[in-house]
Chain A
Amino acid sequence: MNLDKQKLKQSVAKAGKALWNSFPILLGVILLVSIITVLIPTSAYSFLFRNNFFDSLMGSTLGSILAGNPITSYIIGGELISQGISLVAVTAFIVAWVTVGLVQLPAESMLLGKRFAITRNITAFILAIVVAVITVGVLTLI
């Protein structure tokens, strides 16, 4: 197979740039997760996440507010699970993280229309909980 060297260079550079752009956010979030793990005891989280319904609502809300590379949401999600938070809540969190973007909402409104952006984000917020409940439901069944 013949590889186009110039194109390969560009592809690698683009991938590097994409990763570099998310680097400060990734680093910041890992640092934040680290210090929160040390400063805030697990009991504080279990206070935030108590029963299944409000768990997923809380997860979806947190995921909507926070934004960034999906990898970051997996890291936070993994940490939340290790702290005993339910899989439904964590799933709602990681789904809302990528499908709801409060940070990107102004850009989305400007380019794709206000009505479209707002409707899309609100429905995505609700659907994050639906996805979480179905996913965990199916996972429990099999």
Chain B
Amino acid sequence: MTSEKSYTGWYFLLIVIAIYAIVLFIAPDKVLKSLGVFVGIIVKVIPIIVLVFILMAVTNYFIKPSFLVKIMGKKSGVLGWIIAIITGIISTGPIYMWYPLLADLKKKGVRQGLIATFLYNRAIKIPLLPMIILYFGLPYTIILTIVMMIISVIQGLIIEKLVGVKK
């Protein structure tokens, strides 16, 4: 699965390079201008990428997947939602990496709503917060985070209404 995904990324990059090649033939000056814009974005992004890398490594070191399984596996009321929100936020890596674990949890009896809530909160990523603050500001980031946490529970409840509660 991992290799499949990473290949998709490389294909995508190849397509973009092909677009550059085509534009190079038609309007070479546009390519030069684009590369100028590209360098500008890269310079802005590199320090944050380094920060993200450090935060990701730290999260990997201190949070065990088995710990997440343990606290997500237990069926509970309000606590379940809180756990789904928190684990969704602290989990790292591509979203598809979590599908097998979630499928396993579902089999073990975790509510579908909790899985949906978990997936929704993967949108809020602590290591990425500096980046979103840089682009959109602190008040925006705080409000968006809170709104998304609330909506994640609403989505979980909607999913259970529409798909049914599986126990």
Chain A residues touching B, majority SS: helix
Contacts of A28 in B (CB 8 A): 9, 12-13, 15-16
Interface residues of A in 1-56 (CB under 8 A from B): 7-8, 10-12, 14-16, 18-25, 27-35, 37-39
Contacts of A15 in B (CB 8 A): 53-54, 56-57, 60, 92
Q: Which residue of A lies closest to B23 (CB)?
A: A35
For B148, give its contact among A8, A25, A95, A112 (CB under 8 Å).
A95
CA distance A19 to B163 in the complex (A): 35
Q: Would B20 and A31 count as touching, CB distance under 8 A?
A: yes
Q: A99-B120, A135-B144 are contacts. A74–B41 as well, Cβ < 8 Å?
A: no
For B131, give its contact among A23, A32, A74, A131 (CB under 8 Å).
A74
B108: Cβ under 8 A from any A Cβ = no
Q: A28-B16, A34-B37, A135-B144 are contacts. A127–B154 as well, Cβ < 8 Å?
A: yes
Q: Which residue of A lies closest to B38 (CB)?
A: A34
Q: Would A30 and B45 count as touching, CB distance under 8 A?
A: yes
Contacts of B49 in A (CB 8 A): 19, 71
Contacts of A34 in B (CB 8 A): 34-35, 37-38, 41
Report 6 cross-chain contacts, Cβ distance below 8 Å, ordered by A residue. Answer: A8-B61, A24-B9, A34-B37, A35-B19, A116-B163, A120-B119
